[in-house]
Amino acid sequence: MKKSTELWYDKWAEDWNEALPVGSGRIGGMIYGNPYYDRISLNEDSIWSGGYRKRNNKSALENLQKVRELLFEEKISEAEDIVRDAFCGTPVNQRHYMPLGEFVIDQRGLGDIQNLRRSLDLETAVATVAFTTNGINYTREIIASYPDNVLAINIKADKKGSINVRLHIDGRDDYFDNNSPVSDDEIFYNGGMGGEDGINFASYIKVIADSGKVKRWGSFIKAEGCDEVTVLISCQTNYRFTDYKKEAERDIKKALRFTFNELKERHINDYKKYYDRVKIELYDNSEGKSDLPTNERLANIQNGGKDNKLIELYYNFARYLMIAGSREGTLPLNLQGIWNNEMWPAWGCKFTININTEMNYWPAESSGLSELTFPLFDLIEKMRPNGRVTAKEMYDCKGFVCHHNTDIWGDTAPQDLWMPGTQWPMGAAWLCLHIWEHYMFTKDKDFLKEKYGTIKEASEFFVDFLIENKNGQLVTCPSVSPENTYLTESGAKGSLCIGPSMDSQIIYELFTSVINASEVLGIDSDYADKLRTMRDKLPKPEIGKYGQIKEWAIDYDEVEPGHRHISQLFALYPADMISVRKTPELANAARATIERRLSHGGGHTGWSRAWIINLWARLNDGEKVYENIAALLAYSTNKNMLDNHPPFQIDGNFGGAAGISEALLQSINQELILLPALPKEWENGSFENLKARGGFTVSCKWENSKFSEALIVSNSGEVCRLIVNTPVKVLCNGEEIFCEEKDGAIVFNTISGKSYNIKTV
């Protein structure tokens, strides 16, 4: 049994939250596994609700100064009244993501079912449904192939002529034009939102049978008396191609050159190039529970049980989802990755960029999936021209800006009419920090040179937008602390504010990335000096009346002390402005912040719990890491292992995976830290080829909760500053090398391409 690389169940899925996901980055499917009447919920990443909308509010700029004056006078409600009308998007909403449809495999003539097994193999990215009926063994295999641009389904039986199946597609309400067979073995399915700038799609479904008969049957294709049936599903949209129908047809024709087994082999080879790069192994403490179906293992955790192999599976599943949902040329992962079955999904299933989209990519670099961040960078580039217009029309600023959501078109205007979230001009800035992160992990100067203009332009907005507060500090205004609401001393509630802590922290990191990039590339020194001067005037993290990190410039109370966002701890994670080694007093205040949130019911959404895991890891608290991973599995994970906000959001999967690796390896403040937050329950284990900032690849083993050995590969020839909680020596080519101890770190020079063995003394 594949304890940590396979999800498996002995029942079919009763609903979408139990179905298993497959994906090619662009085409996605959710597999229910019902032998009698199976459904595969289909998606294509560019099927959205319409075209680009010009939504910048023309009234914003003329009211900007008035809003600022009201906020300085602490007339919060008056300022919010203006912003609600004069700064909101026109219209209010961006476009939203939509499903492709429901593909049906109808075998309702089968007898009683025995030995049902529904599974997803994370080593091969193949979903399987196997069962026995009337002494015949049936198998369905489903793949979503990136190299061949199709979703492929293969149905087999071990008795010749025993496959009788009807195949059909539907499920988009009235938002389709055709779903009928166009020949005995092909269905053409198309539709969309219409209009001059709407997104329309075309899907071809081809049925290939080995023996037997294939024919039209109403809106179905019927295969009778077959030994084996393969179905190929393609889809393209006018988002990418003018003649999208021809492209979808071409995808089918190309795939028809291969048998299903050949398609599967090509798919597996492509997938394993990514999946096999990294491995985490934890010893099995489940007392036999790791052999159970995945849903029963989750129930065991919910009942207080232990299962390190399920944690391992969770990590592997997140890497699988990244490979399945974010590939070259696709859109980035939205709130649900690429998997959504609702015509009107929660929050539009958009790119929510006040943490959720960023969290989707937190584990990408460390887990060896660096290239899979490029769809995110492509989206940023799409936002730039729109963001320039928003910056100019709403704020009379240079650079580019985006608020707390964007969509397929890179819309940058404010989204929703919701004061705690809408008026937050930091989205583009946070996204651009992923550009610097990519450089820090890869040390790819060509990439940095290409993207320097992007991060510079994001910073230019704040050069113009920042204003001085009463203390002479540079602050944002107006803004919010994402989705939170405060109480003034008079008891009034407010969200709109001056200089919330997270804003200052993000801007500090953005300015720093531009300054550092300028130095690396040897360009733009005058602009870097300007940013240094401004950076010195940004507010720094401060400790409030509860011993916590202050969330607002004024030490307000929260209306909801257990709020899901912990925005003021951006400085702890994903940034490293706060750390146990460098800023111990602020680290203690960060601990108090988390404890206060949790004591009032915080961590109640999946992604919030995942963020908390990373925060505890940065505070070097392995027991809290383990406690919160267990809580994430017990309370915020569906039976199919997808994150449950609720409803389903994929960010918790990625945030949880990031937290697992963060407990084992950190690379912050130019230091590489081995096993910084190792839980006692992970007594023995290892990891292979985790990536670290500075261009390092790290493998490590530990026994009895103590470091055993490590291998560090230098990919860029950077100086290594190593933190490990035991005396060690460093060897290269079998010979001990010179190391220097500085501030508790073991410091040694490296040569690009060389490996360094870390051994206990």
- Predicted confidence (pLDDT) per residue in 172-185, tens digit: 888 888 888 999 99
pLDDT > 70 in the chain, percent: 99
3-state secondary structure of 492: coil
pLDDT at 591: 98
Is it the case that residue 196 has pLDDT exceeding 80?
no
378 falls in which pLDDT band (50, 70, 90)?
very high
pLDDT at 195: 67
Question: What DSSP string runs through 24-71?
Answer: -SSEEEEE---SSEEEEEEEETT-BS--------TTHHHHHHHHHHHH
Count of helix runs (H) and strand runs (E) in the chain: 16, 35
CA 744, 750, 755, 759 dihedral sign is: negative
pLDDT at 194: 64
Mean pLDDT of the chain: 97
Q: Report whether 633 contacts 291 (CB < 8 A).
A: no
**Contacts of residue 276, Cβ cutoff 8 Å, sequence gap at least 6:** none
Read off the tokens for 258: 């291969």
Residues 371-385 as b or e (16 or more Cβ within 10 Å = b) = ebbbbbbbbbebbbe
Measured CA to CA in angstroms, residue 732 lies from 738, 744, 753, 754 at distances of 10, 22, 11, 7
490 falls in which pLDDT band (50, 70, 90)?
confident
Q: How many CB atoms lie within 10 A of CB 520?
A: 14
pLDDT at 284: 96
Over residues 574-616, the pLDDT tens digits come to: 999 999 999 999 999 999 999 999 999 999 999 999 999 999 9
* DSSP letter, residue 595: H
Angle at 423 between CA 417 and CA 428, to 5 degrees: 120
Over residues 622-631, the pLDDT tens digits come to: 999 999 999 9
Q: What are phi and psi of 574, to 5 degrees?
A: -85, -10
Of residues 172 and 444, more confidence is placed in: 444
Is it the case that residue 1 has pLDDT exceeding 70?
no
Q: What is the CB-side half-sphere exposure of residue 745 using CA atoms within 13 A?
A: 19
CA–CA dist 383, 619 (Å, integer) = 35
Over residues 228-273, the pLDDT tens digits come to: 999 999 999 999 999 999 999 999 999 999 999 999 999 999 999 9
Residues 115-129 as b or e (16 or more Cβ within 10 Å = b) = ebbbbbbbbbbbbbb
Determine the straight-line distance between the first and last CA of the chain, rounded to whole angstroms.
38
Q: What is the CB-side half-sphere exposure of residue 64 using CA atoms within 13 A?
A: 19
Question: What DSSP string runs through 322-348?
Answer: HHHH--TTSPPPBTTBT----SS-GGG
* Average pLDDT of the segment spanning 503-515: 98
Q: What is the CB-side half-sphere exposure of residue 9 using CA atoms within 13 A?
A: 22
CA–CA dist 271, 73 (Å, integer) = 58
**Contacts of residue 242, Cβ cutoff 8 Å, sequence gap at least 6:** none
CA–CA dist 58, 396 (Å, integer) = 11
154 falls in which pLDDT band (50, 70, 90)?
very high
CA–CA dist 102, 229 (Å, integer) = 19
Is it the case that residue 171 has pLDDT exceeding 90?
no
Read off the tokens for 514: 């531009």
* Average pLDDT of the segment spanning 648-664: 98
* Average pLDDT of the segment spanning 383-409: 98
Measured CA to CA in angstroms, residue 254 lies from 149, 234, 637 at distances of 9, 11, 38
* Average pLDDT of the segment spanning 508-517: 98
Q: How far is C-alpha 95 from the geometric centre of its chain's CA atoms?
A: 20
Q: Is the peptide bond before 478 cis (omega within 30 degrees of 0)?
A: yes
Q: How far is C-alpha 722 from the geometric centre of its chain's CA atoms?
A: 29
pLDDT at 104: 97
3-state secondary structure of 555: coil
Is it the case that residue 372 has pLDDT exceeding 60?
yes
Helix (H) or strand (E) holding 434: helix 427-442
Over residues 697-725, the pLDDT tens digits come to: 999 999 999 999 999 999 999 999 999 99
98 falls in which pLDDT band (50, 70, 90)?
very high
Over residues 541-562, the pLDDT tens digits come to: 999 999 999 999 999 999 999 9
pLDDT > 90 in the chain, percent: 96
Q: Report whether 750 contacts 719 (CB < 8 A).
A: yes
Is it the case that residue 3 has pLDDT exceeding 80?
no
CA–CA dist 670, 667 (Å, integer) = 7
Q: Beta strand pairing status for 685-692 and 671-674? A: unpaired
pLDDT at 174: 80
